[in-house]
Amino acid sequence: MTTAVYETIVENGRVIDPMIGRDGKFDIAINDGKIAAVEPSLRDSRALNRIDADGHVVVPGMIDTHAHVYRHVTGRFGLEPDLVGVRSGVTTLIDQGGPSCMTLGGFRHFISEPSASRVLAFISCYLVGGLEGHLYPELYGPNGVNAEHTIRVANENKDLIKGIKAHAEIGGQSRWGLDVIKIGAQIARETDLPLYIHLGQLWPTDESGRIPDAEELITELVPIMKPGDILAHPFTRHPGGFVSDTGEVHPILLEAVHEKQILVDVGHGSHFSFDAAKRVLEAGITPYTLGADMHGYNVTVPDGQSDAVRTSSPFFGVAPFNLTIAMTELLYLGLSLPEVIAMVTSHPAKLIRMEDRIGSLQPGFDADISVLKVETGKFQLSDNSGTKVASDQLIRPAFCLRAGITYEADSVFIPDAIAA
What DSSP character marks residue 44? T
- Which among 88, 8, 84 is positioned nearest to 47, based on CA atoms? 8
72 known member of a binding site: no
Torsion, Cα of 123, 126, 131, 137 (10° steps):
-140
68 known member of a binding site: yes
Residues 6+ apart with CB under 8 A from 369: 10, 28, 58, 59, 60, 61, 91, 361, 400, 401
d(CA 341, CA 414) in angstroms, rounded, equals 18
54 known member of a binding site: no
165 known member of a binding site: yes
- Which among 405, 270, 294, 352 is positioned nearest to 71, based on CA atoms? 294
d(CA 149, CA 84) in angstroms, rounded, equals 30
Alpha helices in 56-143 (DSSP H): 81-84, 104-106
Q: How far is CA 259 from CA 110, 254, 285, in A?
A: 41, 8, 12
Q: Are residues 389 and 381 in contact, defined by beta-carbon separation less than 8 angstroms?
A: yes
How distant is the alpha carbon of residue 192 from its chain centre?
21
SS3 96: strand
Q: Quick count: other Cβ atoms within 10 Å of Cβ 12? A: 18
- Which among 92, 89, 96, 88 is positioned nearest to 115, based on CA atoms? 92
66 known member of a binding site: yes
233 known member of a binding site: yes
Binding residues for Zn(2+), by number, are 66, 68, 165, 198, 233, 293
Binding residues, by number, are 66, 68, 165, 198, 233, 293
